[in-house]
Structure 1
């Protein structure tokens, strides 16, 4: 596994002319391309211009978001209709899209957090409805 000056590579390591490094590949297509599994204790991803989904709560409680003005909080009915037609959640790539294009862990994690925040708000709404119905039922039983 020694370094060879003539080829510019270790046994499974390649340095392309553009400076990209490949592990288990001879044609790296990014700064570091690994064809296989990686093992690490931690991955720290910079948002680099991406916005954390606090805009979900901002939109829900204020009616609009300065963080993401285009964001729309969908009702459960709107989500149900979308899922019936498309067989995946709104803004979430389909299985075919992921298979053909892959996915960005940064984008996916931000999107999953957005969906968790939306689910949390829908659950809060449902809990309020349950509590109101329970009070009405108790009032009817006490008549």
Structure 2
């Protein structure tokens, strides 16, 4: 990711110099580049909007949430041993008490700390996988109840 950002900076530099434009809002400090800021705090800091067609985020050791299915079907997960899927009742109780999903930062935390795209995308995928399993369980129960009703009606 750092290489991509550096490459983008180089191309932007070449383009601007070839067009004889100046870098009005660009700063370089301690090897860090700031656009719209004089105090960059990361390799590339942009104060403002960024327009791009695509962003690739490397996992760099992060675990994709297939551990949700592994834990559900096998009873535990080697990928993420501490993971446990809450029941719908436990989830409802948590939401009622804290007003946000379990494992997901609250609105206040997000406002204070911001969010990291990789972490949030993996967390949201975990929640999607849990939702899919809850839906499958509910469909099985619906099918079973339909069958019981059908037998009663006959």
Name stretches of at least 5 consecutive residues in structure 1 with no aligned partner: 4-8
Aligned with residue 13 of structure 1, among 10, 26, 32: 26
Deviations 1:17-63 (CA, angstroms, capped at 9, x unpaired) = x2110000000111100001101111000001110000000000000
Q: Normalising by the residue count of structure 2, what TM-score does the alignment of the two structures yield? A: 0.85
After superposition, the CA RMSD in angstroms is: 1.5
Alignment partners' CA distance in 2, 1:91 and 1:31: 29
Q: Which residue of 2 aligns with 1:135?
A: 147
Aligned with residue 125 of structure 1, among 129, 137, 148: 137
Aligned with residue 54 of structure 1, among 58, 66, 69: 66
Q: Which residue of 1 aligns with 2:113?
A: 101
Aligned with residue 50 of structure 2, among 23, 32, 38: 38
Q: Which has the higher helix share?
A: 2
Name stretches of at least 5 consecutive residues in structure 2 with no aligned partner: 1-15
